[in-house]
Amino acid sequence: MAEQSEYMMTPPEEELASELFLSGATAWNKLQGNLTSQLSWQIENEEGKLTTLPMTGIINLRGHENEEMRRRGYEAELAAWKSIETPLAAAMNGVKGSQTTIFKRRGREDAVHKSLDQARIDRATLEAMLEAMQSSFPMFRKYLKAKAQKLGKEVLPWWDIFAPLGKSSRKFSYPEAQTFVLENFGKFSEELADFANTAFSKNWIDVGP
């Protein structure tokens, strides 16, 4: 807390900033929330009839077993977001613009500076995390190529990224699920299997009774 006090303006300036946020960044944030929560779009269902779905319903089509429905959902999602791109861009610019101005007045290096402090990490740690993510890209590309082949395609369309592969009616008990995860993670990466085992043994996973 004492460290964060270094990045504060004078009390009158902080009070003014707090009041301005209500009609500034907070208002822009509410606009974004209202726009996205009320967004819906027409889509042709499997029976060929037009139906209106909220964005959550459209997004759920990503995992539909029918590829045509996945494609329709993908196109509907793009069209829906396109329809509100101008107010969404204004909302984002309003929020980020307000934050950038305040952070600068408070002596912050940039917007990332505060996020690093809140996460209790430094830039070197963040960079290491990003590098680790980037080093994993080839692995994900290999998976996506394999999935495309499984679906009988040369390349994987965007709407097939979350496509289900096969069906199964089998139900797992929690111990059976643990064994399944550990065995299959182990086939891919011992390090990943060890991490999962730690998560199980230390009860990091909330499981219902």
Q: Are residues 104 and 194 in the same domain?
A: no
**What angle (nearest 5°) sits at the alpha carbon of residue 80, between those of residues 93 and 57?**
115
**pLDDT score for 2:** 56
Res. 93: pLDDT tops 70: yes
| CB atoms closer than 10 angstroms to residue 67 | 14
**Total number of domains in the chain:** 2
Q: Domain limits at 49?
A: 4-122
Per-residue HEC secondary structure of the chain comes to CCCHHHHCCCHHHHHHHHHHHHHCHHHHHHHHHHHHHHCEEEEECCCCCEEEEEHHHHHHHHHCCCHHHHHHHHHHHHHHHHHCHHHHHHHHHHHHHHHHHHHHHCCCCCHHHHHHHHHCCCHHHHHHHHHHHHHCHHHHHHHHHHHHHHCCCCCCCHHHCCCCCCCCCCCCCHHHHHHHHHHHHHHHCHHHHHHHHHHHHCCCCCCCC
Q: Which residues contact 67 (CB under 8 A, 6 or more apart)?
A: 159, 160, 163
**65 assigned to some structural domain:** yes
**152 assigned to some structural domain:** no
Q: Are residues 103 and 196 in the same domain?
A: no
Handedness of CA 187, 188, 189, 194 (dihedral sign): negative
Q: Are residues 72 and 10 in the same domain?
A: yes
Averaged pLDDT, 168-187: 94
Cβ contact 43:50 at 8 Å: yes
Q: Are residues 98 and 19 in the same domain?
A: yes
**pLDDT score for 159:** 98
**151 assigned to some structural domain:** no
Res. 151: pLDDT tops 80: yes
Q: What is the largest CA-CA distance in the chain?
A: 65
**pLDDT score for 3:** 66
48-57, 135-144, 164-173: range with lowest mean pLDDT: 164-173
Closest to 96 measured CA to CA, from 34, 33, 24: 24
**37 assigned to some structural domain:** yes
Return mean pLDDT, the chain. 94
**pLDDT score for 199:** 96
Final residue before a domain boundary, out of 89, 107, 122? 122
Q: Are residues 96 and 183 in the same domain?
A: no
**pLDDT score for 6:** 84
Res. 5: pLDDT tops 90: no
Res. 80: pLDDT tops 60: yes
**pLDDT score for 81:** 98
**176 assigned to some structural domain:** yes
Q: Are residues 175 and 113 in the same domain?
A: no
Final residue before a domain boundary, out of 99, 122, 145? 122
Confidence label for 168 from pLDDT (cuts 50, 70 and 90) = confident
**149 assigned to some structural domain:** no
Q: Are residues 91 and 184 in the same domain?
A: no
| pTM (2 d.p.) | 0.81
**69 assigned to some structural domain:** yes
**pLDDT score for 113:** 93
